[in-house]
Amino acid sequence: MSNSTSLTVSYFILGAYLNIGYLRYLCFMITAMLYIVIVVANTSLIVVICVNRSLHEPMYLFLCSLFVNELYGSTGLFPFLLLQILSDIHTVSAPLCFLQIFCLYTYANIQFCNLTVMSYDRYLAICYPLQYNTRMTSHKAVILIILVWLYSFVKFLITLSLNIRLTLCGNIINGLYCNNHLVVKLACSDTQVNNMYGLFSIVFSILVPLFPILFSYMRILRVCFSGSKQTRQKALSTCTPHLVSLLNFSFGCSFEILQSRFDMSGVPSVLRIVLSLYFLIIQPLMNPVMYGLQMSKLRNICKHVLRYKLK
């Protein structure tokens, strides 16, 4: 399709897929196994938290929201990826492409917002342990979770509405899946509003949550250095998985933002492919494992359930 002639685009071509012959069947098997592990691990922890009343606390409600989001983001990518791996022609209809963009971008926004709320929850639990049960109730946690999801959906609906109105002059996306900025690059109409809102959205999605996270951890560190050994151990056990999750996801998203907005032709194509999928594959795999192992209460209940099943 010509890049200089305005056309009504009904489908997009994904240009990052490599011709690997029969190796695609191996890739399909590996991808399918990863998706099954993600679904089983996250679903299991969601069920454990929902079924056990002792886990109906703010911290575990936030974790439940995190695991639901991992399922949501993975479902926005993996079934699509599995179809494309086996396909000879890597095309996707325009409506499905925009739907995938909506799913993946809201997933990323919900992830950051959820991690921000979790850092505030840890700040209250460690810095104000006696007032924690009044400052952060289960009811307040549910309201915060609903606000995080609604805010993310509404914010990206604006982005999507700005993209749909664009006149496109091409249909080749240089990626494995649909990417918002790469679609905007295909436009031959004025994209100034899209670019300005896109930058505003990135700043609002990353930098704004960063301030409460930094504030929370500065106060936690202050309490840890001046507190008892027990306080330090509690902070370490509850904050380590959160910090690892936050840093890991930030790294993955940073590369994806850089890759979509700057020329990365100097980076080997295989490395670009791996890094573009990093935050969508590693995070849903890592979170249930980390939180399941690190949170003692959740770990003990999971062990009890496994022993009961094996009997």
According to DSSP, residue 91 is labeled E
Q: Could you identify the residue written with the tokens 């504030």?
A: 215
**Exposed, middle or buried by CB within 10 Å (0-12, 13-18, 19+), for 202?**
middle
Q: CATH topology for 21-310? A: Rhopdopsin 7-helix transmembrane proteins (1.20.1070)
pLDDT > 90: percent of the chain = 26
* Of 42, 75, 62, 160, nearest in space to 113 by CA: 62
Neighbours of 2 (CB within 10 A): 9
- Find out whether 223 and 188 touch, Cβ atoms under 8 Å: no
Say whether pLDDT at 82 is over 70: yes
Mean pLDDT of the chain: 83
Say whether pLDDT at 310 is over 60: no
Say whether pLDDT at 43 is over 80: yes
- Find out whether 127 and 223 touch, Cβ atoms under 8 Å: yes
Binned at pLDDT 50, 70 and 90, residue 241 comes out as confident
192-226 vs 229-261: helix axis angle to the nearest 10?
160
Neighbours of 16 (CB within 10 A): 17
Say whether pLDDT at 81 is over 70: yes
For residues 162-173, average pLDDT: 83
| Contacts with 214 (C-beta within 8 Å, 6 or more apart), sequence order | none
The pLDDT score that the predictor gives to residue 3 is: 44
Say whether pLDDT at 209 is over 90: no
Angle in degrees, CA 90, 167, 261, rounded to 5? 65
For residues 273-278, average pLDDT: 82
| Domain limits, the chain | 21-310
The pLDDT score that the predictor gives to residue 306 is: 65
pLDDT of 121-135, one tens digit each?
Answer: 988 888 888 888 888
* pTM of the full structure: 0.87
58-86 vs 23-51: helix axis angle to the nearest 10?
160
